[in-house]
Structure 1
Amino acid sequence: MERNLKVVGICGSLREDSSNKRLLDLAKTMLPDYVEYESLEYQDVPVFSQDIEKPVPEPVQRIKDQVESADVLLIATPQYNGSFPGNLKNAIDWMTRPGGHNSIYGKIAGIVGCTPGQSGTMQAQLHLREVLSHLGIQVPAKPRVMISGVLDLIDEDGNLQLPEVEVNNYQKMLNEVFKLAQIKSL
């Protein structure tokens, strides 16, 4: 029997009607019974400054606690100007602070992303992988979930309708991060 895993979904877009939030919502429908999911809300996290890190601001402590309780981080990132959003980088920076209190080190993460354009968030995901790797976070090399032309994939009810090949790819990526998390917990 597999032990229960906890996934914390982190959306790089703070926009209420974000396509990347929809991509995380789709993941929730694909999770096996032994996986618990919750979203990280970090809109109220201040811009990082060492001048305000001690004591840790309450919104920061809340996200640090949530990330520490996770077995897997599932990060959905849009692509802004060829990279991932600054608000996501800010949240990641806070998760590593103050010095000696890194809440994110050693985690397992899956990265997904969608965009109205044709890049499929390739550059954003490459930059995010580099940052996460630097922080000791394990991200499976494959499969990669990079959805292009996302606006054409949203139905009249506002639901994301991925082609079957993309759903299968997404499921394979989720299975890979769950496998890594279970191995790590042994």
Structure 2
Amino acid sequence: MTNILFIIGSTRRNSFNRQLAKITEKLIAQYASNNCSQIQVDYLDFSDVPFFNQDTEFPTPESVTKVRNQISVADGIWVFAPEYNQSYPGYLKNLIDWLSRSLKKNDFSSGTSIQNKKITISGVSGKSAAGNSRKKLSELLTYVGANLFLGEGTGIALNGQSFATDTLTLTDEDLQKLHSQVVDFLSFVKD
């Protein structure tokens, strides 16, 4: 079984990026069905992870240990990141800060939770299609040693209908880009 972990960079219950994750989950299920594959999709809940602080890094907070354990069993990680003021949210940055830290106190050879993890990115935003957020996030993930697939990933620009209804509406072109990302990322994860 292939385990894919979704990370939603927005805390809003019905955020456009959460809606994009749900659409992606359906595309993954279709892929699994068409290819006789078993793929499990889980969503990372990191709402109780505290702000990173070296004074409280060890002993590691229980919520951080839980998140690290979920990361460790994931074969692939898919990050859905909105764009706030031309970057990714601090909420998401805080998670990556924790994941990039050594697993053992004063033992920098112990590795990190995110090191070599296969990760891809998607983002929904206004006209920029979360381009600034995705670019900066890809730079950060590369810096912390993730095995990043497709660089900045796939961006979706919100249309007026989505803003008016608070429901993500994808064009055929958007769906095709997302479908291609699903197929290619799952192949990357299995290699």
Aligned to 1:106: 116
Runs of 4+ in 1 over 6 A off after TM superposition: none
Q: Displacement, 1:160? A: 2.9
Aligned to 1:46: 50
How many residue pairs get aligned? The number is 178
- For the pair 1:175 / 2:183, whether they are aligned, the reply is yes
Q: Which amino acid aligns with 1:39?
A: Y
For 1:96-135, what aligned pairs fall within 5 Å after superposition?
96-98=100-102, 99=108, 100-115=110-125, 117-135=126-144
Aligned to 2:13: 16
- For residue 29 of structure 1, the aligned residue among 26, 49, 58 is 26
Structure 2 stretches lacking a partner, 5+ long:
33-37, 103-107
**Deviations 1:36-82, CA, capped at 9 Å, x for gaps:** 10000111100001111111101111110001110111100001111
**Alpha carbons 2:17, 2:82 under 8 Å: kept:** yes
**Alpha carbons 2:25, 2:41 under 8 Å: kept:** yes
**Deviations 1:88-134, CA, capped at 9 Å, x for gaps:** 0100111122453411110111100101x211100100000001111
Q: Which amino acid aligns with 2:45?
A: E
**Alpha carbons 1:142, 1:173 under 8 Å: kept:** no
C-alpha separation in 2, matches of 1:155 and 1:112: 22
Indicate the RMSD between aligned Cα atoms, in angstroms.
Answer: 1.9
SS at 2:148 equivalent: coil
Aligned to 2:161: 152
C-alpha separation in 2, matches of 1:96 and 1:61: 13
For 1:53-92, what aligned pairs fall within 5 Å after superposition?
53-92=57-96
C-alpha separation in 1, matches of 2:111 and 2:6: 21
**Alpha carbons 1:143, 1:172 under 8 Å: kept:** no
Q: Displacement, 1:151? A: 5.7
State percent identity of aligned pairs: 28
**Alpha carbons 1:73, 1:109 under 8 Å: kept:** yes
Higher helix share: 2
Q: Which moved more, 1:40-49 or 1:168-177?
A: 168-177
**Alpha carbons 1:110, 1:174 under 8 Å: kept:** no
C-alpha separation in 2, matches of 1:132 and 1:181: 16
C-alpha separation in 2, matches of 1:136 and 1:168: 29
Q: Which amino acid aligns with 2:17?
A: N
- For residue 148 of structure 2, the aligned residue among 139, 150, 154 is 139
Q: Which amino acid aligns with 1:7?
A: I
**Deviations 1:23-46, CA, capped at 9 Å, x for gaps:** 111111011332110000111100
